[in-house]
Amino acid sequence: MTKPICLTGIKPTGMPHLGNYLGAIKPAIEMANSNQYDCFYFIADYHSLTTIHQPKLMSQYVYEVAATWLSMGLDPEKVTIYRQSDLPQIMEMNWILSCFTAKGHMNRAHAYKALSQANIDAGRDSDQGVNMGIYGYPVLMAADILFLRTNLVPVGADQLQHIEIAREIVSSFNAVYGEVLVAPEAMVQSETLIPGLDGRKMSKSYQNTIPLFLPEKKLQKLINKIKTDSLPPEAPKDPADSLIFDLYKFFSTKQQQDELAAWFKRGIGWGEAKAELFKVINAGLEQPRARYEELMANPKEIDRILEMGAEKVRPKAQEFLTKVKKATGIIC
Ligand code: ADP
Ligand code: TRP
């Protein structure tokens, strides 16, 4: 029996951090391991091109992101992992779909709207710095999803609007040509937001992240930067009100958590609490870090894995694109 298709895109914009791992990477890998879906996870390099215009950075981010997923446990035999730009069929699909996309949807898409509002607030022309890639990006995202007849799309809550747009595009297209495209369902991966060093949501935009693969010393240094209050070491502390404890929970067993909670209540120095946090995070990342460094030292191996994925997808992509082109009369 064929399984439903689950697909998600990973935009390469820098080394993933603990928030990305716990909120997106870990659940996606668990989903693939559950064997309920035929999973396709791809590196969305053309999406990054909307903002990243430095060639060295672009290729570095693609490798960093691919190496992160592979070293955190993604099995390329179970998941088809590929580079978006290796499938030109997506670009053809992008154009076809854009001819069925209401311009108004793009005007309302949040990434574009936020940029344009920031320009207006700063008294600049509303389109300053806005390229057509940023403006039309929800169509490309729809093409990424629809070209494989995807059923389920795991995404962060901020992406729900884009899935809704993809569904609207399916309706417009199918209203003309019949049931050709498949309407995808979104699945919000995680409601839990991992806090960053300053207590706000961990995000690259806030520069408060703990990147996944730092040398041990650097990891320790970052953890030492976590914001704390000025209570003296002997003062009892509330684990429920501590950023250190919040992060600790994600990397420890119930028993470890009970022990640390008791130590908090007896009185723990913030330096000691941070050392405990470092220990569990470092233990969790030690093996993946070794694998990550191995892969990053051998980008040809990453290329090989991504190409293997693209080879699996290409025939499906071509076959479906032909069907779509036939529906429109572009091919008769
Ligand atoms: P960033 O905010 O650092 O730029 P992205 O927007 O690229 O992160 O997020 C990529 C994925 O990681 C999304 O699915 C998002 O929901 C998830 N994610 C990002 N930050 C967090 C966080 N602090 N906690 C949980 N999930 C997160
Ligand atoms: N836009 C998504 C993000 O910023 C990445 C992405 C691109 C994606 N194409 C996709 C996600 C298709 C799911 C499906 O995180």
Q: How confident is the model at residue 185 (pLDDT cuts 50, 70, 90)?
A: very high
Q: Please state, in angstroms and as integers, the Cα–Cα distance from residue 118 to each residue in 51, 158, 171, 207, following that order.
A: 16, 18, 32, 19
> Which of 47, 65, 139, 160 maximizes ligand 2 atoms within 8 Å of its Cβ, making it the mutation to test the pocket?
47
Task: Identify the residue whose C-alpha is closest to ligand 1 atom 9.
Answer: 20
Ligand 2 binding pocket includes 209 (Cβ within 6 Å): no
Ligand 2 binding pocket includes 64 (Cβ within 6 Å): no
Which tens digit of pLDDT belongs to each residue from 267-307? 999 999 999 999 999 999 999 999 999 999 999 999 999 99
Q: What pLDDT was estimated at residue 189?
A: 81
> What mean pLDDT comes out for the span 191-200?
88
Supply the pTM of this predicted model.
0.93
> What is the percent of the chain with per-residue pLDDT over 90, rounded to a whole number?
94
Of residues 325, 314, 297, the one with CA closest to residue 85: 314
> Under a CB-based contact definition with an 8 Å cutoff, are residues 288 and 233 in contact?
no
Ligand 2 binding pocket includes 24 (Cβ within 6 Å): no
> Under a CB-based contact definition with an 8 Å cutoff, are residues 193 and 19 in contact?
yes
Report CA Rg, the chain. 22
Which ligand approaches the C-alpha of residue 19 most closely?
Answer: 1
Ligand 2 binding pocket includes 145 (Cβ within 6 Å): yes
> Under a CB-based contact definition with an 8 Å cutoff, are residues 295 and 71 in contact?
yes
In order of their start, the domains of the chain are 5-194+299-328 (3.40.50.620), 213-292 (1.10.240.10)
Asked whether residue 249 carries a pLDDT value surpassing 90, the answer given is: yes
Average pLDDT value over all residues in the chain: 95
Q: What pLDDT was estimated at residue 86?
A: 98
Which tens digit of pLDDT belongs to each residue from 122-137? 999 999 999 999 999 9
Asked whether residue 191 carries a pLDDT value surpassing 80, the answer given is: no
Of residues 151, 184, 191, the one with CA closest to residue 170: 184
- Which residues does 136 contact at the CB level (< 8 Å), separation at least 6? 98, 106
Ligand 2 binding pocket includes 84 (Cβ within 6 Å): no
